[in-house]
Chain A
Amino acid sequence: MTTALPTAASTARSDSAERRPPALGGFSPAVLRIELRRVLRNRRTLAFTLIMPAVFFLIFGLPQRGQQLDNGSQVLGYIMISLAVYAAMVATTSTGAAVATERALGWSRQLRLTPLRPAAYIAIKVLTAMALGLVAVCVEFAVGAAAGVRMPAHVWLLAGLGAWLGSLVFAAFGLFVGYLFPAENVMQFIGPILAVLAMFGGLFVPLEVLPDVLADVARFTPVYGVGELARAPLTGDGVSAGALANILVWTAVFAVGAARLFRRDTARV
């Protein structure tokens, strides 16, 4: 075999011997930026996370204008926060569930030919999900403010934070479902499931409206706790131990489930 390589080439090759893996497993703000742009370009995602909840608010909220809760707060504000939780959970779930599409397309396999670490990939997905969740909450709040919601500044802030951070549960849920079903159209069947969960979580109608048995069951479904948390600043009721337990247990269930499936996926090699 020829071992005498041209000088330029051998220099290039020996340089590459000192190459190192990327910092942070390949995670970088530039990657996050491209992912975000990609999500914001998806009309379907935008329709379901930004437009639909706003329309729901206008349809279900506006007729309640002028009504008050027991503590004197606006019912309109209650509905707005509920729908902000809904918007954020759809946003984070759909971004998390995008791993299903990427697995179905074979992109995750393509990524394994690059230095990107699986953990960095998950971090990118979660951060993108949370960024879109934040946009969803802000849009819903902006629509609410424009439609006449008036609340003290700390309620806006705390309710917004509650709705946003609570949606982390659903980023985990989205990842869990995404690793469970490697289908390109996974959101088509998650969408209806989210709507049912939101219903049981008291985001569309107060649980008191449901039959007693259903209302009791509903308290154990994954949206209930986040809804209570986000509305607590407005209602002044505080967050019950049950609601807090609901959030913690479901977060644990989805995060552990996603982590296990994720590990199975990367170990499969």
Chain B
Amino acid sequence: MTSTHPAVELSGLTKTFGAVTAVDGLSLRVEPGEVVAFLGPNGAGKTTTIDMLLGLARPDSGTVRILGGAPADAIARGRVAAVLQTGGLLKDLTVGETVRLTANFYRQSRPATEVLERAGIADIADRVVGRCSGGQQQRLRFALALLPDPDLMVLDEPTTGMDVEGRREFWQALRRDARSGRTVIFATHYLDEADAYADRIVLVRQGRIVADGTTAEIKNLASGRLVRATLPDADQAALAALPGVDAVEVRGDTVLVTTADSDLVARHLLTRTAARDLEITSRNLEDAFLALTTDRTDHIGAAR
């Protein structure tokens, strides 16, 4: 039975390009049926990881297993399909011909008309690929990926270059198609995409996983509010001891307190200490993303 194998099992993946370490000891296990967002800024190592996942790049060290086997084997059997940024299309074929040509490479495939329909491009089947917009070409790549009816679908920044409307349509098409049982892994640097379409978010930065959890868990990392005040010689321990306080950070004369109860911290600071210039800001997923993926290494501790 397939369900005994994880959909994806990466362990200790490392890849360097010259002096640059693109992926740094990355390990990840994805169970069948999960929809996972690989979220991180450009240059975080997402594409390199996906290339290794699909067997398009060889890791310097570490291993890749897809559905219990080697990536090449999963591709040959049509069990994994991918939409990559770099995958090109033949400009002189029509959309329909591209799908029919690719369908012939598989032992079994879904009918061309069906995948065109599901990708939302049935109406442009006769159009030459060279005359299709970037968004239409991307949906064609998606249609090609649907052909083998794969167990695992990998998408690398599938909506890059699309306008807002194009992005919305693409995700609708993916969603229409998303039936239980298919594992989906997509890389994105759009936070809202990860938030809206993934069950699980894996945050990557500098080739490492810095946070991994459900969307709610990732959001919790950034829950509460941030209280900032000017307070020379702040008593860090006393602030940390207040109820609801998650983290206290002192930067010169500034103190930053992450807390679930900002009123209490503010009252304490204004009545018991010499704090002034007090500010209270709320944090959201955007902050969590920034905190976890930017180069500042200070309060990353929250990511566990």
Listed in ascending order, the chain A residues whose CB lies under 8 Å from chain B are 1-3, 5-6, 9-10, 12-14, 16-17, 19-23, 26, 28, 30-31, 34-35, 38, 41-42, 102, 105-107, 109-116, 269
Contact = CB atoms under 8 A, between A and B. Distances in A.
Interface residues of B, number: 47
B195 interface: no
B79 A16 contact: yes
Interface stretch (B88-96, B184-192, B245-253): B88-96
Contacts of A106: 86-89
Interface string B79-109: 1011010111111110001001110111110
A5 B87 contact: no
A109 B79 contact: no
27 contacts: A2-B33, A9-B182, A13-B2, A14-B1, A17-B2, A19-B78, A19-B148, A20-B77, A20-B107, A21-B76, A30-B100, A30-B104, A34-B101, A38-B97, A102-B90, A105-B90, A109-B87, A112-B56, A112-B75, A114-B105, A114-B144, A115-B106, A115-B107, A116-B105, A269-B55, A269-B57, A269-B58
B149 interface: yes
Contacts of B108: 19
Contacts of B90: 38, 102, 105, 107
Contacts of A28: 104
B56 A109 contact: yes
A23 B76 CA distance: 10
B9 to A, nearest CB: 15
A20 B74 CA distance: 9
Contacts of B100: 30, 34
A58 B182 CA distance: 62
Contact of B84 (A21, A22, A113): A113
B107 A110 contact: no
Interface of B: 1-3, 31-34, 54-58, 75-79, 81-82, 84, 86-93, 97, 100-102, 104-108, 141, 144-145, 148-149, 151, 179-182
Given A19-B77, A269-B56, A6 B180 contact: yes
A1 B3 CA distance: 12
B88 A107 contact: yes
A31 B106 CA distance: 11
A239 to B, nearest CB: 39
Given A113-B87, A114-B102, A12 B149 contact: yes
Contacts of A16: 2, 77-79, 149, 151
Contacts of B106: 22, 26, 114-115
A3 B89 contact: no
B82 A113 contact: yes
B22 to A, nearest CB: 15
A112 B72 CA distance: 9
A90 B106 CA distance: 32
Contacts of A6: 180-181
Contacts of B97: 34, 38
Shortest Cβ-Cβ A-B pairs, 5 listed: A106-B88, A9-B181, A110-B87, A21-B76, A105-B88
Nearest to A20: B107
A22 B88 contact: no
Nearest to B34: A1
Nearest to B88: A106
A256 B92 CA distance: 30
Contacts of B82: 113
Given A6-B180, A107-B90, A115 B56 contact: no
A12 B76 CA distance: 18
Contact of B77 (A21, A23, A30): A21
Interface centre among B92, B101, B144, B179 (most CB of A within 10 A): B101
B86 A109 contact: yes
A118 to B, nearest CB: 11
A244 to B, nearest CB: 39
B74 to A, nearest CB: 10
Contacts of A14: 1-3
Nearest to A102: B90
